[in-house]
């Protein structure tokens, strides 16, 4: 990430009112509900801030979760322990303000999420995301995520694989 931007946890001091990614569901979530999810520890939210203006250019949320082993794409599933579920972290929401399009902020947010999960003092085999639409699905596929077996809008990426992609 360039010096123009930095990523930090969402706080009450951040002004979310001007954020607009163009998807009404995501915008409404970020304006209205995200603070409640953070307050109740349902999710942690991280924002990318334009350093000079303090504007929020994007955000993502992380929540603990799991994926059914039967949903993990083969041949990955065959290499995992035979537990019914696989420990994972969910990127619940991820968006970039439309005014900051074309700067690679979406990818930077995913990379930051992967690094954050990989270095957390808790076990998680994978990171996954529910794509809100086909464009979001394409975004995750281009980053190496694979669709879950019977949930084609849910995408899965082992942390080890993600870290290799990051270098």
Host H or E run for residue 130: strand 126-130
Structure tokens at 54: 């303090």
* Joined tokens for residue 58: 């994007």
**How many independent structural domains does the chain possess?**
1
Per-residue pLDDT tens digits for 107-129: 999 999 999 999 999 999 999 99
The predicted structure's pLDDT at residue 19: 98
Question: Is the confidence at residue 100, as pLDDT, over 90?
Answer: yes
CATH number for the domain spanning 127: value is 3.40.630.30
> What whole-number distance in Å separates Cα of residue 110 and Cα of residue 108?
5
Half-sphere exposure (Cβ direction) of 81: Cα atoms closer than 13 Å: 6
Per-residue pLDDT tens over the stretch 17-71: 999 999 999 999 999 999 999 999 999 999 999 999 999 999 999 999 999 999 9
Please tell me the pTM assigned to this model: 0.94
Give the mean pLDDT of 154-159. Answer: 94
Task: Tell me what percent of the residues of the chain surpass a pLDDT of 70.
Answer: 99
* Dihedral (CA of 92, 83, 153, 167) sign: positive
Range of the domain at 122: 5-166
Please report which confidence band the pLDDT of residue 1 belongs to, taking 50, 70 and 90 as the band edges: low
């Amino acid at each position: 990430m360039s010096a123009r931007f930095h990523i930090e946890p969402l706080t009450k001091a951040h002004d979310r009112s001007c954020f607009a990614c163009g998807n009404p569901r995501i915008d409404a979530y970020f304006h209205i509900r995200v603070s409640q999810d953070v307050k109740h520890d349902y999710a942690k939210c991280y924002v990318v801030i334009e350093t000079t203006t303090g504007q929020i250019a994007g955000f993502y949320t992380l929540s603990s979760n799991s994926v059914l082993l039967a949903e993990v794409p083969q041949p990955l599933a065959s290499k995992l322990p035979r537990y019914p579920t696989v420990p994972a972290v969910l990127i619940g929401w991820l968006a970039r303000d439309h005014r900051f399009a074309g700067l690679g902020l979406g990818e930077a947010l995913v990379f930051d999420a992967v690094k954050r999960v990989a270095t957390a003092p808790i076990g998680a085999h994978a990171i996954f995301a529910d794509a809100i639409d086909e464009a979001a699905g394409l975004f995750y596929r281009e980053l190496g995520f694979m669709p879950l077996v019977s949930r084609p809008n849910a995408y899965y990426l082992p942390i080890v694989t993600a870290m290799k992609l990051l270098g």
